Structure 1
Amino acid sequence: MNYKYIRLNPSQLLVFVFLVFILLGTLMLKLPIATTDSVSWIDALFTATSAMTVTGLAVVDTGTAYTIFGQLVILLLIQVGGLGIMSFAVLIFIMLGKKIGFKERLIIQHALNQTSIGGVIKLVRNLFIYSFTIEIMAMLILAIRWVPEYGWGKGMYYSFFHSISAFNNAGFSIWSDSLMQYVGDPLVNLVITFLFIIGGIGFTVLMDIWHKRNYKKLSLHSKLMIVGTFVLNLLAMIIVFALEYGNPNTLGSLTTLGDKIWASYFQAVTTRTAGFNTLDIANLHEGTITLMLLLMFVGAGSASTGGGIKLTTFIVIVLSVLTFLREKSQIKIANRSIKDKVIFRSLAILTISNMFIFVNVLILNITEPKPFLQLLFEVISAFGTVGLSMGITAELSDIGKLIIVFTMFFGKLGPLTLAFSLAKPVQEKIRYPSEDILTG
């Protein structure tokens, strides 16, 4: 075969490289030194995909099923998946002093979901500086809590593991109950949530804040992400507190008001693709679960470590509806108008995502003897690369696990990336006359 004639567009290349890393991760997790006991191929594939897509869903207990080597493989996949394969490729090129051409910049643009190729190399360079600095600082702060409890070796390792997992919105934990034992611990709650909120807000926003340091000078995207994140998290926290306050299996079992507030706050913000939990998700009221479904579907920010349709996509769609109802011709916000191309892209993401989720839930309802709400929660959690579960992940059949594997893969790369990887570009040379059709 002559590989010179193989032509892959940026979207196809991203899909291919992601698949390669998942397969390599699967092979490494099947090595005898990676597990404490035998792990099936399907479970190794599931874990590798969950780590590479920074989801956090687990079919086996990470802390007991995998050795330190296996856990480090998972961490490596999380870091590569969270910061981006192409970002690491750029880092290696920079270290080797290689020139990065137009094609490579175009691939990086697709990988980081940027609107142009200008400044992508600088973005990648700063991405690593910010990420590693934040992870190291968080690890040292968490060590203040865990070193006295577990000793220097375990304490530092647990801090290291959870710092990387949280910043990359992965949701993997050493403990089988995630962080439930620290439900009222202020330091653990603040550091872990800070990590996944910062990781989920997007590297573009972080760079914008760092360079401009003035809210008025920030780009419209940054302003929408900051305000949207704050409002959504605050509303979600208040609703979770109100709905779960009298639930004896969740907030009702906590003795102090402070613990209830911390638990409400953590469950509200973790749905933004983080995957950690300090309450038993399966015991939450259905109203709270429904709220979580929406939050997981929306997800984090573009060019972030999180998943979902993205907060800015959700905001654009809401603004489009409001603009239509007001019979306006343009979407206006903060003295700026939003281009039609952005609106069409947002609608495409929403439509493809909804169709994908519907099909996968339909298949799981056929193959899995589980309640509809649990299966819907599992699929949306996988699509949003969240990692929260109502406790059915390990009980899925092999077909069910493969469906969730594909859902995590689809959710991480994004609906449009996969759609563009399959579609062929078409040049429109003919313009046809328009005609109205009845809708609604």
Structure 2
Amino acid sequence: MSPARRRRIYKWELDATARTRRASVGIAWEQITPEWLFLISFLALIAIGTIGLRAVPFFYAPGATGLGWIDALFTATSAVCVTGLIVEDTATYFSTWGKLWILLLIQFGGLGMITFTTVLIASLGGRPSLRQEAITASSREAVPTVDYRGLTRHVVLFTLAFEAIGAFLLALVWVPRFGLVAGVGHAVFHSISAFCNAGFSTFTDSVMGFQTWPITLGLLMVLIVVGGLGFLTLEELWMNVRAWRSRRGFRMSLHSKIVLLMTGLLLVGGWIGFGILEWDNTLDAIPGWARPINALFLSVTPRTAGFNNIDYAEMSAGASFLTILLMFVGGAPGSTAGGLKVTTVALPALLAWSRIRGQRVTGFLKRTVPEETIQRAVGLIVLGFALVTGSILLTVISEGSPPERFLDVMFECVSAFDTVGLSRSMTGDLGGFGRLTMVVLMFLGRVGLPTIASALTVAAYRPLGDFRYAQEDVVIG
């Protein structure tokens, strides 16, 4: 065989190998489900954030030694998962560039990498993939009035608009105190952190220094609540406003009605509860006229915001447990908030109320909720409870915590899983295993247990069919 022929054959073999590799990569990429794409985007962002915090020395203030790998992973996960738990003081340990890096992780994590990717493709004249559209339109059946093709663009517009307005108003209040540059910097950071329900602060004592600043507390609460309502509800509220302006009728979905009702009930109930439990305790040092708004802030911040206006280590056991309950519920689906979500908690309550009244179906506001949705809600509550309970047990054992710190450990685990960021001064005392446990809890809480289950369960992508085993009853109670 001539040398020229051997070269041609060799080149053909190389081209064939390359074509086979490209085909296999293409097949593997097409097999990635929306849930896996969502998980991969968050894992990639956490990895980038961790490497940045570990490798860039000018992210730290003069005198700071820099974070180790575990602490860098913890901080990056806390920022991407918009939690707010910290192992080092953000205000003093990081430089301006380090704070900006954390802020970018919060912003990308709060909105989700998929949202930014979709907007980038659209701005370049491309079209989002079917996987990205599947993620955006996962709740199409629950809220059919929303245009899901334009929802992603509206998500970014809503976010940037509220963050810009919040930063502008906070700057008006803070610039006279901190100066132009520092005041604007604090305002932008806290506006993004509040709307994304992140809880990171550029003040060492979070917002404890603003206990007698009702405008500051009020602005932060508005940003937190709006960010926790969920973009589907915000979209429907905007559609309702446009329909009212044009004198057209508009029916809001049951989803948004439950979100708004539960949000109001939890805020008012928490406000009254904290006012009673903490009036003569942590609120005692605050002037009487400022205690009501601080009690309301105590009700708002467990909605996974994570800002603290009092020292939670000094909070009473009753108020701490009330905070745990509010953290466990969290915000609304499709929002920057974490937790089990208000609709998940509301459906089993509606189920119980319907059964008490002798009704065979679960209804609310002249609508019947599908039985499958209620079963998923009950399953999610059971899984969340089991995961948090197991994490509390592991943390207590690994940290060797004394009995008097059990409430602190429970508070920390619930705060991590529900991406809140509040702490009873426990985070800094955790060892390496405890911090890694919190990392896992923050990630699972941010991406959501349904996403994890769908990604890991192959059967979730197969038609279930009508097959079932023979029925057999079980004695309960």
After TM superposition, is the score higher than 0.5? yes
For structure 1, list consecutive stretches of 5 or more residues without a partner in the other structure.
Answer: none
**Runs of 4+ deviating beyond 4 Å:** 112-118
Shift, 1:35, TM fit: 1.5
Q: Which amino acid aligns with 1:85?
A: M
The count of corresponding residues between Structure 1 and Structure 2 is 436
- Please point out which of 320, 334, 337 is paired with 2:351: 320
CA distance in 1, matches of 2:100, 2:51: 14
Among residues 310, 335, 339, which one is paired with 2:366 in the alignment? 335
Are the equivalent residues in 1 in contact too, given 2:208–2:308 (CA < 8 A)?
A: yes
| Shift, 1:369, TM fit | 3.2
Counterpart-to-counterpart distance in 1, 2:289 and 2:33: 52
- Residues of 2 paired with 1:113 and 1:380: CA distance? 30
TM-score scaled to structure 2, two decimals? 0.88
Amino acid at match of 1:234: V
More deviation, 298-307/61-70: 61-70
Q: Distance in 2 between matches of 1:277 and 1:104?
A: 36
Q: Secondary structure at the match of 2:439?
A: helix
> Please, which of 84, 92, 104 is the counterpart of residue 64 of structure 1?
92
Give, in whole Å, the separation in 2 of the partners of 1:166 and 1:355: 29
1:40-55 pair list within 5 angstroms: 40-55=68-83
1:253 to 285, 290, 293: 285
Amino acid at match of 1:47: T
Alignment check: 8 A CA contact 1:35 1:70 kept: yes
| CA-CA distance at 1:115 after TM superposition | 5.0
1:334-367 deviation line (CA, Å, top 9, x unaligned): 1111011210110121111011111111100111
Q: How far apart are the structure 1 equivalents of 2:294 and 2:141?
A: 35
- Residues 22, 49 of structure 1: 8 Å contact kept: yes
Distance 1:4 1:130 in 2: 35
Change (3 A) 1:179 1:44: same
After superposition, the CA RMSD in angstroms is: 1.7
- Give the aligned partner of residue 135 of structure 1: 163
CA distance in 1, matches of 2:358, 2:427: 46
After superposition, the C-alpha distances for 1:93-126 in whole angstroms (9 at most, x for unaligned) are 111000224232113335x898589732311111
Mapped to 2, the partners of 1:315 and 1:180 lie a distance apart of 32
* Percent sequence identity over aligned pairs: 35
- Residue aligned with 2:335, SS: coil
How many Å separate the matches in 2 of 1:227 and 1:407? 28
Which of 29, 32, 39 is 2:57 aligned to? Answer: 32
Q: Does the 8 A contact of 2:240 with 2:250 survive in 1?
A: no
Q: 1:164-183 to 2 correspondence within 5 Å? A: 164-183=192-211
Equivalent positions of 1:9-408 (< 5 A) are 9-30=33-54, 31-36=56-61, 37=64, 38-110=66-138, 119-213=147-241, 217-247=251-281, 250-254=282-286, 256-370=287-401, 371-408=405-442
Q: Distance in 1 between matches of 2:141 and 2:411?
A: 30
Equivalent-residue separation in structure 1 for 2:268 and 2:81 (angstroms): 27
Residues 389-419 of structure 1 deviation map (CA, whole Å, 9 limit, x = unaligned):
0011011001000000000000001111111
Residue-by-residue CA offset, 1:218-263 (whole Å, 9 max, x unaligned) = 211111111211111011111101011121xx11122x22221121
CA distance in 2: counterparts of 1:224 and 1:377, whole angstroms = 27
Q: Structure 2 CA distance, aligned partners of 1:102 and 1:119?
A: 16
CA distance in structure 2 between the aligned counterparts of 1:282 and 1:292, rounded to whole angstroms: 12
Confirm or deny: 8 A CA contact 2:74 2:439 kept in the other structure. yes
| Alignment partners' CA distance in 2, 1:107 and 1:75 | 25
Pair 1:431 & 2:453 matched: no
Post-superposition offset of 1:57: 0.6
Aligned mates of 1:20, 1:103 — CA distance in 2:
17
Structure number with greater CO (CA < 8 Å, separation at least 6) is 1
Q: Deviations over 1:113-142 (max 9, x none)?
A: 985897323111111111111111111110
Query: Quick one: distance in 1 between partners of 2:419 and 2:107?
Result: 14
CA distance in 1, matches of 2:474, 2:152: 46
Provide the rounded CA distance (Å) in 1 between the counterparts of 2:289 and 2:305. Answer: 22
In 2, Cα distance between equivalents of 1:113 and 1:281: 40
Residue matched to 2:3: none
Distance 2:379 2:110 in 1: 24
2 CA distance for matches of 1:124 and 1:186? 34
Aligned partners of 2:359 and 2:223: how far apart in 1?
Answer: 40
CA distance in 2, matches of 1:337, 1:438: 28
Partner SS state of residue 308, structure 1: coil
State the TM-score, normalizing by the size of structure 1: 0.95
Aligned partners of 1:142 and 1:159 also within 8 Å: yes
1:149-195 Cα offsets, whole Å, 9 max, x none, are 11111010000100000000000000111000001211111100000
Stretch deviating more after TM superposition (141-150 or 3-12): 3-12
Alpha-carbon distance between aligned partners in 2 of 1:231 and 1:379, rounded to the nearest angstrom: 25
* Cα offset, 1:216, TM superposition: 7.4
Larger Rg: 2
Mapped partners of 1:422, 1:160: distance in 2: 38
CA distance in 2 between counterparts of 1:135 and 1:19 reads 25
